[in-house]
Structure 1
Amino acid sequence: MTLTPADAVDVDDLENPVLGMFWDRGQNDIEADLAELRTKAPIKFPELPDEVDPALLGLIEGPGAYVTTRHAEILHMSRNADVWSSASGVTVTDTPPEFNEFFGSMIAMDDPRHGRLRKLVAAGFT
């Protein structure tokens, strides 16, 4: 499987999953929209609406976030950090790069750094 950011599909009739209001709805509505995303657009790059202003929170406005809803695509993205990097952060809005170093976590690291740290802590879980 070869996926690139250009493979993201737009599904305009669904609620925007990067906004809090998506998750504030009933569980059945959330699950129905996620099921439709898995079927129609397993990789979605939703635009942030104008009323969302990251600057009010002191954050840098970035290009947006990918919403990925199928296991195969998530595995592919995780294994291809050269195209799908998490190093700039894993939140919807971008933060200054120096924040990622101090407030980030292993989930926001790409290999080889992620692999080195994972090996260090893995012994504690076995």
Structure 2
Amino acid sequence: MKKVLLVVFILLSLVLVACDSSGSATVDIENVNLTSDILEADLRIKVEYESNEELMELVTSAVNLTYAHYKEDFGTEVFTLYFTVYAKDATEALGVISYKVNDSKTNPGLTYIGDNLS
């Protein structure tokens, strides 16, 4: 059941990120750096958002797209993902959100760790 929900969530996330009123992506994923067990990237929000919930939806969608793109690179190894988030046209970061990939054999895939987004 968890896998089915994860697939549905990823597909929904792809739709949310892929579409906006102008037809372009709502979040740019930039400066991706993948090392032996860490992925770091910047997420630049390209649209205005009205609430923290909306911000988290945008960020989560971009994180899921990144995970899907690098899934084969991750394989079964444990990785930590750090995403620095920037609001539209901002030079100062809103904060960092982090995830684990393949946290344990009973918890494969993407797991939210925490964030300090303001």
Q: Same-fold call, TM > 0.5?
A: no
Higher relative contact order (CA 8 A, sep 6+): 1
Q: TM-score range by the shorter chain?
A: under 0.3
Structure with higher Rg: it is: 1
Instruction: Report the TM-score, using the length of structure 1 for normalisation.
Output: 0.25
Q: Which has the higher helix share?
A: 1
Instruction: Report the TM-score, using the length of structure 2 for normalisation.
Output: 0.26
Q: Which has the higher strand share?
A: 2
